[in-house]
C-alpha cells in the first residue's frame, strides 16, 4: 500500500467550558491514502467534525485547544506549521465542504466572486477574467444550470442544493490532494442529496483527491466509502474496509449502528435503537466509554475498568473492544431476534 497522504496521530482536542473540560477528540489516530474515500461515522458529538476542524486549524481558541498529537500532511505536521503556510494549504491542497453552505458562504458577495477569490488567492498571477472563466467552468462541472447567470447571483438567490454545489466547486477549484466533506447533504431532501453526492463523486474522480466523508448516514458510507472509521465518545472504536464494517463489525457500537438501521425486509412498528445515551464528554465513564450501553460487555469488570486499545482484528481492521471476538456471535443473535420479530409481524 502507498504512503498515506494524511495521517492523524494521537490527536486530542479539548474545549474549556464553565462546566468543565470537554474532551471532544481523545487520542484519535487514522490514515488517509491517495485516491481513497475514508468514511467517518458516529453519533452527534462523537468528534467527527472537530477532527476535521482540527486538521484545518480552524479550532477557535479560546475555548478550544489542541493538546496533543500530530497531523501529518505529506510528512509535514500541520499542528506545528507556520500560520501563513497553513493558510496556503487550506483551499489549495486541502479542500473543505462545510455542513451548511448558507452560513459558510458570504451573504454579501456573489457566488462567483467567492469562487474567483478562492482561485486568485492561491494564484496571484490569475487575472479577474481568467478567474471568472474558470469559476464558470467549475459551476458547469458541478451541474449548476445557467452558470454564467448564477455566477453573479448571491447565495440567498440559490436553492440549498445549488449552494452546496457552489461549495463543492469552491472546494475543488485548486485541484486539492485532500477533500473533506463534512455532512455534505445535511438539510437537503432525498432527491437533492442524491444529486449532490453524484456531483461530489464526479468531482473526486476528476481531481483524484483523497476524500474524507463525514456523516451519520450509513447509507452514504455503504455507497461511497472504501474504508470506515467509527467514532464514539471522541475516540476511534473501529477501523475497517467498508465491506467488513457492514458484513462483520467487530465493535459492539458498530453492531448497534447496524441494528438500528431501517430495513425493507422487516415490517416493525419501531426501530431497535442503542439503549442509553451518548457519554458525557466532560466526565467519561471509566474503562470502555461504551460499556454502559453495550450488549457484549454484560457488566464484566475488564470493560468497566480498562480502556481498550485498538486491537488488530485481521485484514488490516482494528476494534477497541476487549471482547471483539464475541461480536460476530452477538450479531447472529441480533439477526435471529430480527427474524423472529419479522415472523411475528406477519410480514
pLDDT per residue as tens, the chain (347 positions): 579 999 999 999 999 999 999 999 999 999 999 989 999 999 888 999 999 999 999 999 889 999 999 999 998 999 999 999 999 998 889 999 887 777 788 999 999 999 999 999 888 788 999 999 999 999 998 888 899 999 999 999 988 888 888 888 898 888 899 999 998 877 677 777 787 788 888 888 887 889 999 988 888 898 889 999 999 999 999 999 999 998 889 999 999 988 776 666 555 556 677 888 889 999 999 999 999 999 899 889 999 999 999 999 988 899 999 999 999 888 877 666 555 554 555 54
DSSP tag of 3 = P
3-class DSSP assignment, residue 249: coil
DSSP state of 318: E
Cell of 181: 466533506
Please tell me whether residue 60 adopts helix, strand or coil conformation: coil
Write out the three cell numbers for 43: 453519533
Q: How many CB atoms lie within 10 A of CB 332?
A: 10
Q: At what angle do helices 190-207 and 128-141 cross, to 10 degrees?
A: 120
By the 8 A CB rule, do 19 and 78 touch? no
Task: Give this prediction's pTM.
Answer: 0.89
**Nearby residues of 164 by Cβ (< 8 Å), 6 or more positions away:** 97, 101, 184, 185, 188, 196
Domain residue spans of the chain: 6-106+176-230, 251-345
Q: Is 220 helix (H, G, I), strand (E, B) or coil?
A: helix
Exposure string (b/e) for 115-137, b if CB count within 10 Å is 16 or more?
Answer: bbbbbbbbeeeeeeeebbebbbe
Helix (H, G, I), strand (E, B) or coil at 76: strand
The pLDDT value recorded for residue 335 is 64
Q: Are 282 and 234 in contact (CB under 8 A)?
A: no
Q: How far is CA 246 from CA 87, 225, 229, 321, 343, in A?
A: 38, 12, 12, 17, 23
In a 10 Å sphere around its CB, with 0-12 CB exposed, 13-18 middle and 19+ buried, how is residue 146 labelled? exposed
Domain spanning 6-106+176-230, CATH architecture: 3-Layer(aba) Sandwich (3.40)
Nearest CA among 157, 155, 187, 189 for reference residue 169: 155
Amino acid at each position: 500500500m502507498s504512503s498515506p497522504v494524511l495521517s492523524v496521530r494521537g490527536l486530542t482536542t479539548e474545549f474549556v467550558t464553565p462546566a468543565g473540560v470537554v474532551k471532544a477528540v481523545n487520542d484519535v489516530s487514522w490514515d488517509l491514502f491517495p485516491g481513497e474515500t475514508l468514511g467517518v461515522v458516529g453519533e452527534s458529538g462523537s468528534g467527527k467534525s472537530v477532527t476535521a476542524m482540527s486538521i484545518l486549524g480552524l479550532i477557535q481558541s479560546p475555548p478550544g485547544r489542541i493538546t496533543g498529537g500530530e497531523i501529518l500532511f505529506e510528512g509535514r505536521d500541520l499542528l506545528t506549521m507556520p500560520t501563513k503556510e497553513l493558510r496556503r494549504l487550506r483551499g489549495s491542497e486541502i479542500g473543505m465542504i462545510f455542513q451548511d453552505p448558507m452560513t459558510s458562504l458570504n451573504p454579501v458577495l456573489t457566488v462567483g466572486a467567492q469562487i474567483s477569490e478562492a482561485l486568485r488567492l492561491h494564484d496571484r498571477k490569475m487575472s479577474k477574467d481568467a478567474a471568472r472563466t474558470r469559476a464558470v467552468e467549475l459551476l458547469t462541472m458541478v451541474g449548476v444550470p445557467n452558470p454564467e447567470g448564477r455566477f453573479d447571483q448571491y447565495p440567498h438567490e440559490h436553492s440549498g442544493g445549488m449552494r452546496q454545489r457552489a461549495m463543492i466547486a469552491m472546494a475543488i477549484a485548486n485541484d486539492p490532494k485532500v477533500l473533506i466533506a463534512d455532512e455534505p447533504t445535511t438539510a437537503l431532501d432525498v432527491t437533492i442529496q442524491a444529486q449532490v453526492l453524484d456531483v461530489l463523486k464526479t468531482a473526486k474522480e476528476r481531481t483524484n483527491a483523497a476524500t474524507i466523508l463525514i456523516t451519520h448516514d450509513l447509507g452514504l458510507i455503504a455507497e461511497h466509502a472504501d474504508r470506515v472509521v467509527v467514532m464514539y465518545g471522541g475516540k476511534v472504536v473501529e477501523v475497517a474496509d467498508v465491506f467488513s464494517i457492514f458484513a462483520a463489525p467487530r465493535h459492539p457500537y458498530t453492531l448497534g449502528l447496524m441494528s438500528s438501521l431501517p430495513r425493507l425486509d422487516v415490517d416493525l412498528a419501531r426501530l431497535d435503537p442503542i439503549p442509553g445515551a451518548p457519554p458525557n464528554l466532560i466526565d467519561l465513564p471509566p474503562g470502555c466509554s461504551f460499556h454502559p450501553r453495550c450488549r457484549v460487555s454484560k457488566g464484566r469488570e475488564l470493560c468497566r475498568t480498562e480502556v481498550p486499545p485498538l486491537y488488530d482484528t485481521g485484514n488490516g481492521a482494528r476494534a477497541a473492544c476487549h471482547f471483539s471476538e464475541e461480536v460476530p456471535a452477538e450479531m447472529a443473535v441480533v439477526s435471529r431476534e430480527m427474524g423472529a420479530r419479522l415472523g411475528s409481524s406477519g410480514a
